[in-house]
Amino acid sequence: RGEQLQLRRLRDYDIPLFDQDIEDQGMPTGVLKLRQDMKNADGFLIASPEYNSFFSGVLKNAIDWASRPYQDDPPLVCFKNKVAGLLSASPGQLGGIRGLPRLATLLRGLGTLVVPTQCTVGQAHQALASPDEISAELINKVDAVVDAVIACC
């Protein structure tokens, strides 16, 4: 079909905790790389664990950095007119369902179209324990999010 997917892990960017004092010294290299990857993408599949009914703090930190103005870039260039599909996992029964609306609200506020199709994985420690034993139902749920993002890009 022509689509390309590039897997990115936030830990690979070496992004410091957001601090305007750091920002005033110049945008960190990891943030510049994240911004470039985001600007080059038509859409995102964002997967986050849920902690205490919220998406991860690491993800929030990356969003905070990527939302900052930088040089001649238009405001919120990493988010505006982009499409996002959201996925979440947690060890509890709900699979991260409480954190996804909060993430969706944040992204929409930054100008991102968040597709309504989402995927949550409850008892993730069991559901994802072995890549060879992931259920067809879960694969179909992930595929539905992917298809929704592609349809909107």
Q: What per-residue confidence (pLDDT) applies to 131?
A: 84
Q: pLDDT (tens digit, 9 = 90+) per residue, 89-131?
A: 999 999 999 999 999 999 999 999 999 999 999 999 888 888 8
Q: pLDDT (tens digit, 9 = 90+) per residue, 56-78?
A: 999 999 999 999 999 999 999 99
Phi-psi region of 134 (alpha: psi -120 to 50; beta: other; left: phi over 0): beta
Q: How far apart are CA 60 and CA 12, in angstroms?
A: 16
* Residue 67 belongs to a domain: yes
Work out the mean pLDDT of the chain and round it to a whole number: 95
* Residue 4 belongs to a domain: no
Tokens coding 26: 């110049």
The domain of 41 spans 10-152
* Residue 5 belongs to a domain: no
Q: How far apart are CA 102 and CA 26, in angstroms?
A: 30
Q: How far apart are CA 42 and CA 24, in angstroms?
A: 29
* Residue 111 belongs to a domain: yes
Q: How far apart are CA 132 and CA 141, in angstroms?
A: 17
CATH number at residue 28: 3.40.50.360
* Residue 101 belongs to a domain: yes
* Residue 44 belongs to a domain: yes
Tokens coding 77: 């260039």
Enclosing H/E stretch for 101: helix 99-109
* Residue 2 belongs to a domain: no
Give the count of domains, the chain.
1
* Residue 3 belongs to a domain: no
Contacts of 28 (CB under 8 A, 6+ apart): 14, 15, 16, 22, 65
> Quick one: pLDDT band at residue 132, thresholds 50, 70, 90?
confident
Query: Is residue 79 within 8 Å of 64, Cβ to Cβ?
Result: no
Using alpha carbons only, give the angle 141, 120, 122 rounded to the nearest 5 degrees. 115
